[in-house]
Chains A and B, each alone.
Chain A
Amino acid sequence: MAELKLMKGNEAVAEAAVRAGADAYFGYPITPQSEILEYLMTEKAYERTGMVVLQAESELAAINMVYGAACTGKKVMTSSSSPGISLMQEGLSYLAGAELPCLIVNVVRAGPGLGAIQPSQADYFQSVKGGGHGDYRLLVLAPASVQEMSDFVPLGFDLALKYRNPVLILSDGLIGQMMEKVDLFEAKPRQMEIQENWTLSGRAGNRPKRTITSLDLDPVKMEKHNLHLQEKYKAMEANEVRYEALQCEDAEYIYVAYGASARICQKAVQLARAKGIKVGLLRPITLFPFPSLPLFNLADQVKGMLSVEMSAGQMVEDVRLAVNGKVKVEHYGRYGGMIHSPTEVLQALENKLINA
């Protein structure tokens, strides 16, 4: 039954996983996302749907449990925060190489190293440019509300299975920890029969054996496999770009921001408009594939773009690539776990673009 609830972002992810008919969750505790595993245990996900919930001995083990379970074509997921996601990069490279669908949630905290437990967006590079070894991409969704933390779980599973590729929900400590109203979607039953022609189930009848691996000792075949992966990423770029444009129609300047920063920029747009400055916000919802074309088109209309991120400037590189020199692109952001205020963001726009 659909339901309206007040929930934390992390809890919304967990509840959505059960409702989306997830078959398994493997995870390891780390702040600020431990509520996901806690919620699944407390709410007895296993009793509700038969979903497997297992606390692994490490993120390394968790991602490899995901790898194993994903071989069966079932809906599997894990979640962690930045240092834990770093540990999972080996597994993510293998998952992408072996073309296994799964859902990963990163509730980003500040780095580098052990960093701080406060919100950050400094894992952008790691998320959208590969992260582990080899040429691969994850499909990256960036929720900016508790509602989207819930909605992107079934969307993530669908996209993962559609492309046989890991999907990453790139959240942050702010979206994960804050409480908001969330309209929970109606629960779907777990899919018990898997009809795909690549999944492992045991070699029944006379069907040929199936092997899942990312290895090929023959470089000619390996290059072919890489070309196939690249085709898949191109198909994602053609079909899966998602973004939200807010008050961009008459904008002279635009903010480009995702996740928590997009929420802050939303307020900054209001403040700017009240002062008579025509500002809009372009919020990428998919970070890979990146909304390059809408930004390229907006570049003809605006005088400048400000990429606002809780990082030292990572997404700004993709914004610059997108507009290809047509318009000035600057970056503003706090980091190390500090969060910029709407006033700071407005000031940055004035200093770096309007009065520069």
Chain B
Amino acid sequence: MIMDINDIICEENLVYRKSGLLLEKPFSYCPGCGHGTTHRIIMEVIEEMGIISNVIGVAPVGCSVIAYDFLNIDMVGAAHGRAPAVATGIKRVYPDKFIFSYQGDGDLAAIGTSETIHACNRGENLTMIFINNGIYGMTGGQMAPTTLDGMKTSTSPYGRDISSMGHPIKMTELLAQLEGTYYITRQAVHTASHVRKAKKAIRLAFENQKLNRGVSLVEVVSNCNSNWKLSPVKANQWMEENMFKFYPLGDIKVEGKLVEKVQKKENIERVGNTIKI
């Protein structure tokens, strides 16, 4: 018997469906970039939670500046670095709605440091998604606050020299110290298993808004193959070998409590001399 294609493409054989909250517009992101995957899992979480009519997102300045063009939800574009303040404004007048911000490292950890720290410190009941790829993608690969020691960028062409350019900032660990943060985790989206874990974390970060206990932040360590000047596959390898050493994956704060130091010790050993505790 010859099977028709329509016999195969049917509901009972379905293993994956594109989220209805992703619009038909193709992503403007480079192939291999983590933004598209992260957008997808956020939309899947919102869809699965059934909270579309109560979600408002805040887009940043950077590669994801037009995130709202791909996502079929209500969104507002913030000025560079100001997303946590904008999200605060919305959440304070709509305390029962789910408000999330989506920011890159330049946005969240450089120009918007003040807004980030104070929104976290006030314990705003928000979900923050933080994409950390150690570089300014949109403007063409300049040094970011999270650029690793020795990493080459267009404004550190001979490698980041920490003696004059300062240290890469572990924003997520820093925010975990604040009383106003409830859930802080660091994830990645470059393999299927990492995507599953990241999605679980994002789901929890949204669920937490029902508790009104403060900020839930998911950092996604991602790549920027175009500006790292590597192929997508090599970029992911480089990310695993270098980024994950300095920015180790895993939960940092859960239910308002810092995760035990056992895990952290491991990290220190892995990194060797490049960090000081």
User: Chain A interface (Cβ within 8 Å of chain B)?
Assistant: 23-24, 26, 52, 54, 56-58, 60-62, 64-72, 74, 76, 90-91, 94, 98, 200-205, 209-215, 217
The answer to whether A76 and B89 touch (CB under 8 A), given A200-B56, A209-B72, is yes
A211 to B72, CA, bound (A): 10
Of all chain B residues, the one with the shortest Cβ separation from A26 is B89
Interface string of B43-72 (1 = CB under 8 A from A): 000000001111110110000011011011
Of all chain B residues, the one with the shortest Cβ separation from A75 is B93
A72 to B88, CA, bound (A): 12
CB pairs A–B below 8 angstroms (18 shown) = A54-B88, A56-B118, A60-B115, A61-B85, A61-B115, A64-B79, A64-B86, A67-B78, A67-B86, A68-B91, A74-B93, A76-B93, A94-B79, A200-B76, A202-B53, A202-B74, A205-B53, A215-B77
A54 to B118, CA, bound (A): 12
Which of B55, B56, B76: most chain A CB closer than 10 A?
A: B76
- Contact residues in A for B86 (Cβ distance below 8 Å): 64-65, 67-68, 71
**Interface pair B89/A210, CB less than 8 Å apart:** no
- Contact residues in B for A74 (Cβ distance below 8 Å): 93
- Contact residues in A for B92 (Cβ distance below 8 Å): 24, 52, 54, 65, 69
> Quick one: which of B53, B82, B98 contacts A60, CB cutoff 8 A?
B82
- Contact residues in A for B54 (Cβ distance below 8 Å): 202
A63 to B5, CA, bound (A): 56
**Interface pair B89/A68, CB less than 8 Å apart:** yes
A212 to B58, CA, bound (A): 10
**B129 CB-CB contact with A under 8 Å:** no
Nearest CB of chain A from residue B103's CB, rounded to whole Å: 13
Nearest CB of chain A from residue B66's CB, rounded to whole Å: 7
A170 to B118, CA, bound (A): 29
The interface size of chain B toward A, counting residues with CB under 8 Å, comes to: 37
Nearest CB of chain B from residue A67's CB, rounded to whole Å: 5
**Interface pair A212/B76, CB less than 8 Å apart:** yes
**B90 CB-CB contact with A under 8 Å:** yes
A24 to B88, CA, bound (A): 12
The answer to whether A66 and B89 touch (CB under 8 A), given A202-B55, A213-B68, is yes
A201 to B97, CA, bound (A): 8
Of all chain A residues, the one with the shortest Cβ separation from B58 is A68
**B87 CB-CB contact with A under 8 Å:** yes
- Contact residues in A for B68 (Cβ distance below 8 Å): 209, 211, 213
- Contact residues in B for A201 (Cβ distance below 8 Å): 56, 74, 94, 97
**B75 CB-CB contact with A under 8 Å:** yes
Other 17 A-B pairs with CB < 8 A, given A68-B58, A69-B93, A209-B73 = A24-B89, A26-B89, A64-B79, A67-B85, A67-B86, A68-B76, A69-B90, A71-B90, A91-B79, A98-B76, A200-B74, A202-B53, A202-B74, A202-B97, A203-B74, A209-B74, A211-B74
**Interface pair A213/B114, CB less than 8 Å apart:** no
- Contact residues in A for B94 (Cβ distance below 8 Å): 72, 201
> Quick one: which of B51, B73, B115 contacts A64, CB cutoff 8 A?
B115
